[in-house]
Amino acid sequence: MISTVFSVMFNIFNTLLMTFVFQNKKLKYTLVIIVYALQTIILVFTNFILDEMDKRSIEALVIAVVYTLILGPAFLFMTSAIMQETIDESNLSIA
């Protein structure tokens, strides 16, 4: 359980750093979606036995995947806002 938490935190932190490196928004969106999709697929297939799960557990898993799909663009919006605020603040300090 703890190793799963650390691997997810590691991926989220590295994704945050990655969004600060690239300037192209399409590239950022594509890479973040790929990272989050791979993370979700890896977590599902390594931690769950789908044949032994009941209907309620599968529904909860689907909700978690949908939440991840919503979280990706929101994460990109927040990092873009942070970057823009940093740029605006540096422009004000120079002027």
Residues 24 and 80 sit within 8 Å (Cβ to Cβ) = no
- 47-68: string of b/e by CB count within 10 Å (b at 16+)? eeeeeeeeeeeeeebeeeeeee
Distance CA 18, CA 31 (A): 9
Residue 60 has pLDDT above 80, yes or no: yes
Averaged pLDDT score across all residues of the chain: 79
**pLDDT tens across 23-33, in order?**
787 887 788 77
pLDDT of residue 81: 84
- pTM of the entire predicted model: 0.58
Q: What is the pLDDT of residue 74?
A: 80
Containing 16, the helix (H) or strand (E) segment is helix 2-21
Question: Average pLDDT in the 13-32 region?
Answer: 78
- Average pLDDT rounded to a whole number, residues 37-44: 80
